[in-house]
Structure 1
Amino acid sequence: MWKWLHSYADPERAYKLSGTLLPWFSTLAILLVGTGSIWGLLFAPTDYQQGDSYRIIFIHVPAASMSMAAYMGMAIASFIGLVWQIKSADWAAAAIAPIGAVITFIALLTGAAWGKPMWGTWWVWDARLTSELVLLFLYLGVISLYASFEDKVLAARASGILAIVGVINIPIIKYSVDWWSSLHQPSTIKITEKSTMSTDMLYPLLINIFGFGMMIGAITLIRYRTEILARNGMRPWVRDLATAEEAK
């Protein structure tokens, strides 16, 4: 069932596939983030309670959502690397970690900027905010572990175990507002129920969520290709690539 994974264990094939996908992810990211941001920040109606300060959700919510999605992607790649011993999966996890850390920091920063006018303070030790901060520490832990070992096989194993264990924090972030008393507002985008948000606000928000996903995918592909080249510098096909670039 999982034999198809092994076909992408070949670094050259993984490099070429990521190069094929990169323009698609990049184009979609530019179109979606551009459309969603302009629509949300400039043309969406003003909220009757929060005024224009609510518009930060068009950055905050996509960043927060994708910080969890990126972590799950990293954890899945780490799991594949540990179980099937596919090095290219370890390289994918290493590529995702810094991107996830940055997007989590953006989520925390924009959340603080939103919280100041709404709650009267930049930070509270709220369940949602605290668990999102823990997510940032998990990303930083994975990055640090991967950089701490010269043996990258051992580094991938150590950071991969941390990434997999850290998955327990994802449902805590997701359901913290339901499980504990929280200043953070409940989810307004629901899968099984009707959303409580006006469609004039909901559509640009959804566009930006998908756009952020495409943006993270595009940056991950760039870093992944760099990671492949760094780990396979002595392979003939890499030298051929370098020679072809020099010839241009």
Structure 2
Amino acid sequence: MWKWLHSYADPQRAYRLSSTLLPWFSYLAFAFIAIGTVWGLLFAPSDYQQGDSYRIIFIHVPAASMSMTAYIAMASASFIGMVWQIKSADWVAASIAPVGAVMTFIALITGAAWGKPMWGTWWVWDARLTSELVLLFLYLGVISLYASFEDKVLAARAAGILAIVGVVNIPIIKYSVEWWSSLHQPSTIKIIEESTMSSDMLYPLLINIVGFGLLLGAITLLRFRTEILARNSMRSWVRELAQIEGAK
């Protein structure tokens, strides 16, 4: 069942695949984010309670969603790397970590900016906010572990263990507003239930969530390609690629 994974253990094949996918992810990310942001900020109606201050959700919610999505993807790649001994999976995890950290930071900053007019303060030790902050620390821990060891195999193993253990924080973030008394509003986007948002607000938000997902993929692919070249700099195909690029 999992034999197809081993075909991408070949760095050259993984590099070619990422190079093929990168333009598609990049162009689609730009298109989706441009449409969703312009629609949400300029054409979506004002909220009857929050006025125009709610519009920050068109950045905050996609960033927060991708902060969790990126962590799950990073932990999954780490698990694959540890179980099936696929080095390229470890490179994927290393590539995702900084991107996920940035998404988490954006979610925290935009959440604070949204919280100020809504709650009267930039920060409270709310369950959702605190668990999201813990997520940022987990990302920083993974990044630090990757950079702390000269032996990259050992670094990937240490960082992978932290990433996998840290997955327990994801359901805490997701369900914190239901498990504990929280200032943070409940989820307004429902998968199996009808959403509580107006379609005029929901559609641009969903478009931006897809756009942020594509952006996450594009930046990860870009970093993954760089990681492959860095880890295989002595391979003949990398030298040939450098010569071709240098000749252009």
TM-score, with structure 2 as normaliser:
1.00
CA distance in 1, matches of 2:245, 2:24: 23
Percent identity between matched residues is: 83
- SS of 1:111's equivalent in the other structure is helix
Partner of 1:7: 7
Give the whole-Å Cα distance in 2 for the aligned partners of 1:113 and 1:196: 23
1:143 CA displacement: 0.1
- Amino acid corresponding to residue 108 of structure 1 in structure 2: L
Match of residue 159 from structure 1: 159
**1:227 aligns to 2:227 (yes or no):** yes
SS, match of residue 224 in structure 2:
helix
**Partner residue, 1:53:** 53
Equivalences for 1:22-61 in 2 at 5 Å?
A: 22-61=22-61
CA distance in 2, matches of 1:244, 1:184: 53
Distance in 1 of aligned mates of 2:117 and 2:246 = 54
State how far apart, in whole Å, the 1-side matches of 2:203 and 2:39 are. Answer: 9
Give the counterpart letter for 1:217 in structure 2: G
**Cα shift at 1:247:** 1.3
Aligned residue pairs, count: 248
After TM superposition, the score normalised by the length of structure 1 is: 1.00
The offset of 1:196, in angstroms, is: 0.3
Which residue of structure 2 lines up, in the alignment, with residue 110 of structure 1? 110
C-alpha displacement at 1:80, in angstroms? 0.3
Aligned ranges 1:93-108 → 2 under 5 Å: 93-108=93-108
Instruction: Extract structure 1 runs of 4+ deviating beyond 3 A.
Output: none
Gaps of 5+ in 2: none
Equivalent position of 1:67 in the other structure: 67
How far has the Cα of 1:184 moved from its partner? 0.2
Asked if residue 140 in structure 1 is aligned to residue 144 in structure 2, the reply is: no
CA distance in 1, matches of 2:214, 2:247: 32
Q: Distance in 1 between matches of 2:8 and 2:235?
A: 17
Shift of 1:246: 1.3
CA distance in 2, matches of 1:126, 1:245: 51
- 2:167 match: secondary structure: helix
Q: Deviations over 1:71-91 (max 9, x none)?
A: 000000000000000000000
Tell me, in whole angstroms, the C-alpha distance in 2 between the residues paired with 1:41 and 1:161: 41
The AA in structure 1 aligned to 2:42 is L
Superposed CA deviations along residues 53-95 of structure 1, whole A, max 9, x for unmatched, are 0000000000000000000000000000000000000000000
Which residue matches 2:184?
Answer: 184
